[in-house]
Chains A and B, each alone.
Chain A
């Protein structure tokens, strides 16, 4: 059974069909990368999976169950966490708090327990803190120690990207959706991030679906590549297959002179 399956997924914005009758499967333990030119519908697809947009047609099935009609936070609770292309960290909260927020759906202390500071609350709080610290320690010394109590806006751009990934990890997902994890990073950091994505699967056991423009990253880490254009899947397969696919080259570079149209 695939972990995530999209069946005939469609999303229209007025006259524009951003995602068009898309079928896509992600098997457990896979690293799948989504490529495609700007406006191909990659981020829209993420928003559809995570419930930020309701689909106009088709269905998203996660672990055999439809995600239709679920609120974003319920989908996160089912085991899908994401990062954002345009960073959306909680700027005026500390680094540790940022990550601790993501444990929300994995904890349940109510107002009464919280106000009375019951032992159950204390235990849970300690667990949340530990999970958050664990997620942050994935990035070496970059986000630990004194960084815990720093406000997130003081972080560098690359560290903010890492923080977002740590935050998604702390939601304890089965499927991790990364939206351009290396955007805005220098080559050195990009190399590191490529390695990190592999480790996320190998060490932490996440299944990963990620959007990426940097072909070196795509080549370096993906088991399977899916290319989108105008909301349709135009190619799927290994990096080699997709990279040499006629339609993919066409989508990126345009049609050769003398072609049809």
Chain B
């Protein structure tokens, strides 16, 4: 077929119309936006290539050329989805594209020629059908975009200054602290889909409590002076990043405690700095990745993964811990990679031999896979007790 530019665009838009409609239905069914985002990218990439590349370079397009051109478009769409952080399952995204491609082929070779007598000789132009398709497609995408925008959680700005807490969040929202915004008395998250950004918390039973909700993001928060835990998470899926927690002087609390969220998906703790407390970061019966954190001066364990927890402990730095730097305990499975654990002190006063200053310790039927960790100035670099294993010879990384 020798497409005209208009023919290319009209044929593409008409062929993508059912794909975009299907993506909207899928988005409604799954309560996720990636199908619409992916379909929107398919439209955008296709139109851009039509305008800038295909029309200039391809005077005649044989049937077989649809295959390499389709693969090119798939690669560009997937690349843009990755760049734009569109969280789509790869298989489903490829399936959506592949289904759309096949449908477009069927339309181009059979459907459009049957619908429009002069389809081939008019270079793929569809006349009123093409214009109508473009309008409907635009309306669909605009509606989807508008709906997505309307469903965005409201952004609440917390002004600079001290706000008396506890601050209880009961609706989905994005709470953004202006520079200098401080909540005294803690924050309690009681709604799903809450994001807290750039807020300082002083005092409170726990600095921030997240209980029984999902989709919580704590980004750039700082906590100090909490009576119990700095960030206390129960039965909740959460992402904590770029936080700062000061637990110095607190002998009972944990910097971050994530417990009992095994059924809530993978939680993430990344880029946090924690000083003091019994444990810097601890997970119980949880699936969590603990990445790129700085933990120091803890009085029980620097980082502990315990009570049948699973997860990666990677790229963290643990300093000046008392007793144990990284602790994998109670039938847990821990991938411990590229961490730096230094200056762990023996807990002489405890009289417990398993607290004699381990850089990494696996305990009670647990398994810790160690790879490329820097374990220096610790009385014992690593060890395993009570039917546990420390494996050091893995030939691969989980990274």
Partners in one complex: no
